[in-house]
Every structure is written in C-alpha cells, then in structure tokens.
Structure 1
Amino acid sequence: MKVGIIGFGSIGERHAQNAQRLGHEIHVFRTGNSSKFTKSSSEDFEFHFELEAFLSLPLECMIICNPTHLHAEFITYSIARSIPFFVEKPIASTLKEAAIISEALAKSPISNCVGYMMRYDESIIKIKELLTSGVIGTVTTGIAHWSSYLPDWHPWEDYSTGYAAQKEMGGGLALTCSHEIDTLRFLFGEPSAVSANSNSVQTLKTNADDYLDALITFKQGISILLHIDWFQKTPQRTLSFLGDEGRLDWDFFTREIKLSNHVTDTHTKYAFKADNNIMYQHILEDFLSSIQNKHSCKSEFEDARKTLEVCFQMLEGTNL
C-alpha cells in the first residue's frame, strides 16, 4: 500500500517506520528540516517538498502528523480525493473546523482513524475490562494525573517554537494533552458536567495554557479529578479509581495495574510490557486493516470530535 505521511516530526517518523515494517511504501511530505533526522533513519522513504506533486501520487491512505492548525486542510484534501486518512490528535484547532469535516465525511464516507493510541494500550484495555467486571465494585470517584516537562518532549529542538507551545498553531495543554480526556471517555462514556480551570503559570513563557485542573462527572455518577501540567521535571502519569469494594491504581511508566478489594481482602497486580511503540503499532494496524477489510476503527473522527468538544468546554470553564 502507498502510504502518504504529512509532517515528519517525531510522531510522523514513528508512523512511517511502523508502516514500513508492515511492508508498505512510504511517501513523506515535509517542509521542515529538523536536525534530529539523519539519513539512516529515513533513507528508505520517498521525500516530497512540493504539495501538488505529493497530492498527485496514487496514495492509498494519508497519515496526517503536521501541526494541529493544518489538520483540517489535509483532511479536506483526503476527503476530496476519497483517500482514507489517519490524523493525529486533536482532530482540529476549532470546533467549527471539526463540524465542517463531519459534514464532508457524512457526504463522502471514507475510512479514518484518530491518533488516540491509549485506547490500544494493553493495560488501558485491561483496566476497562476489570472495571466493567465490577472487580472493585461500583466505581464512585477517581484521580487522573499527568505531569511532564515540555522542553523534555523533544530535547533536540526549541520547545517554544513547536506547535504545542503556540496557541495560534492549535497548541496549548488542553488540546495537545487530550489523551487523558479521551481515555476517560473510553473507560466511562460521556461526561454529563465539567468544571475546569486551564491557565498558565508562565514558567515556560509560552502564550498557551500549561496546566489544567478539572472535575468531570460522568452520566453514571462517577466523578473524576483530572490534573495535567507540563512544567514538572519529575514526570508522573497515573490513574486511580475508587469503588465501593476497593481501588485500582495504574502507572503509565511501569504499565502496572494494582487492585485491592477490601471485601475479599485480596491484592492483585497485572504487569504489561512498558513499550510505548506497541500501542502505536496496534492503532496503525487497525487503521490499515479498516481500509482493507471495511471495518470501523476504535478511534474514529466522529468519536474524537466528542473529545474535542470536552476540551473546549474545559477551556471555557462551562458545563456541558
């Protein structure tokens, strides 16, 4: 399959390498010249620097990995040419853009997938299975915490020039780090109310939000406290859920799930391989399979649009 990659930052390179390992022909459209990339990491890819020439290729799918404010433009190219697309999150930089794309997809349906790869993480899938089985009873509340340090994300480049740090490029923490919001939707369904505070402490001197505190209430009555920031040099990414019979704790970096049930007085641990690329491989395989076998992906545009709506509700600090 001829796969077109739009954007060749770290995530574009990852998708290109994973697709190539699956035996696909890789064509990359890029405009940047990051010093991170060497010939050894990309010598088997065909690079294109003229958009019209790239779009004239007989591509069988597009993987869109450029800055958020450009997503809508390239999704539109895909739909107009009936080329299945994979787009990194968030799907667009505004709700209006997302609505226009939804209308276009309704008129011209094509296979699509959105890069919420946590839905494909084996430990997250296990958490969903465990909570659904009632292993800690009825879930009542929980805490989701993600702290990181933005300059460490891509240490080979100036973080302040990247899209994540620039509001006008669709950046900011609430949109860039929407994985946690999507993961909570994957586990518990749709929120019924959101109260949030998103702002900047200006430690990193960007023009975008750099922390988010929110209380999310889901339709079945579960309340989750969510904290995300990207100014902490000591990383943390954890989930803790409390039920009326016990608790479940998860750590992203170890991929361990710990269960405690005070009714049965049992303690159980599940361990998964802490290899981030596994979930990226699984989401790409699902997307490519959806093209060949005509099935839906676990993370499609219309579903991801709901995550985007929650993100903007948080930015506005209003109820749904």
Structure 2
Amino acid sequence: MKPDNDPDLRVSDLIDFNGGGWNVNLVKQVFDEEEWGSILNIPLSRFWPRDSQFWWPARYGIFMVRSCYWLARLGHLRTWALQFGARETELWRAVWRLEGPPKLNHFIWRACKGSLAVKERLASRHAALSSQCPVCNKAEESIIHALFECTYAQQLWRASEWGSLLTDDPSTSFADRFEWFNSRRDGEDVQRFCALAWAAWEYAEKVFKPSHSWNLMASCWSPPVEGWVKINFDAHISAVVEVGLGVVCRDHHGHIIALGVKRVEASWEPSLAEAMGARYAMELAARLGYMRLVLEGTL
C-alpha cells in the first residue's frame, strides 16, 4: 500500500457495488502495481456476504493454536508454502521469468496447467467426439503428444540440440517436463526450449487444424428443446492483463437472440476465467428474464 493513503481505508471502500466488482481506478491509486495486480485477480461474490475473520494458516480459516505455533516457528513465507504448495509457486516464478513475448509465457503457463485445447481434454469435456490426434491419427492427443511425440513435433525436436536429451525426460505432464528441463539448463536454453514447444503447437494449429475449433462446434452444437434457451459462453485471456468474456444466447431454432461481451482487468488462470464466463452468462440470463436455459461452455 502506498504510504500517502488513508491507513483506515477498508476493503469495502475499494469495491464498486453498483458495477459488481473492484473500483479499478481506486485500487490502482492506493496500491503499487504488484499489489493491485494481485487484488484485481480476486473475483468478488455477487451476494456481498458480511465480512468475517479468516485465519489463513489454517485450512478452514479458523484460528488454531497449532497453526499459530507453526507460523511463529517457520515464518510467514514457509508456512504459506506448506499450506498452498511451494511447487506451484516455484513453477509460476520459473514460467514468468522467461524472457520473451508475453504470449510465450502465457502459452507455457497454460501448458503447465494442462489447459491447452488438445483433443484429450476436449473429449473429456464432451466438446469433441474423439480424443485421437487429428495430425498423425496414431495416438490420443495429450499435451505431451501434441508438443513432443506427434510425427511433426518429433521432427522438430530431432533437429534441435536436445533431441537425445529429451529421451530421458518425464512424460507424465508438461509441468514435470518443464521443471525437469529447467533444473538442467540455463535461462537461455530454457527460453529456446519453450519457444520450440510453442512453435510445435502453432505449426500444428495453423497447418493441420486451421479451423478445427469452429468446425468442431458446428458439428457438436445442438439446439435446446422448444421453449428453452441455450447459452454458450467462453473466456479469452490476453497478454495485456485482461480477460474477455463472451456469451451467445440461441433459441430452439438455433437463432441468436442475445449477445454479451465483457472485459475484466485481471490475469486469471483459464479454469477461473471459464468459471467467471459461466457466471457472466447466468447474470445475463437473469437480466433478460430467461428462466429455462441450458448453459454450455465455448461459443
């Protein structure tokens, strides 16, 4: 908090109750950039519950002497790491220390979190009919397969200086592989490694799957029953600390009857951004008076 601000300022003073979110200008005025960025990433409840005390070192927020003892014994940072996971904190730091365009950092973070739109993930969410890789048609398209094991990705890595090194790396997840490589190479090598993974993804997306997402939804989308409204929603995370939310409402004929878009200044993880997209869809439905509705992710 900046030293020249009111020390008696309350959290409620920073909330725009009419707009249903943070008072962005005031938050930026009161806090330094690192602090206001973290604050704006916290989603606010629309129910405006009464404030209550929460003891963060305990799992359920209830004060316990034991948690107080460990806080005093280990210190603030170590206790936080034990409670919320040191691995993810270190992983986050490693990803955002990469020197490159913000889109590269964002791509690597999505890959580490398992949120890339591979067929394996889409099929598990019933957004694709098959989990088979559409590029090689030889295996299930997981993130590891798409970035390293697919036919054309293998050619890329064999031509790189790490072709032999990657035969011994973990294949359980991209996060494990990234951490493994990061522990063995310096920053410049890690940056090139990430750039090659990004190149493998972009090449497959643009050359082999130029319009797969739209064709997929066109083949899978089904209208609601008569008298109901189907609301599709989606979220887009940009590289400029902003999340875009989009909503499309259709009737049983498939005709678009309402649209909604909203931009939020935040850098949410993909899962949280999707959840906020669902909430925005429900708010729009309530505002328009739609009582019978089907909520479905992806526009």
Q: Name the TM tier (shorter chain).
A: under 0.3
Larger Rg over CA atoms = 2
Normalized per residue, the structure richer in helix is 2
Q: With CA pairs under 8 Å and 6+ residues apart, which has the higher RCO, 1 or 2?
A: 1
Normalized per residue, the structure richer in strand is 1
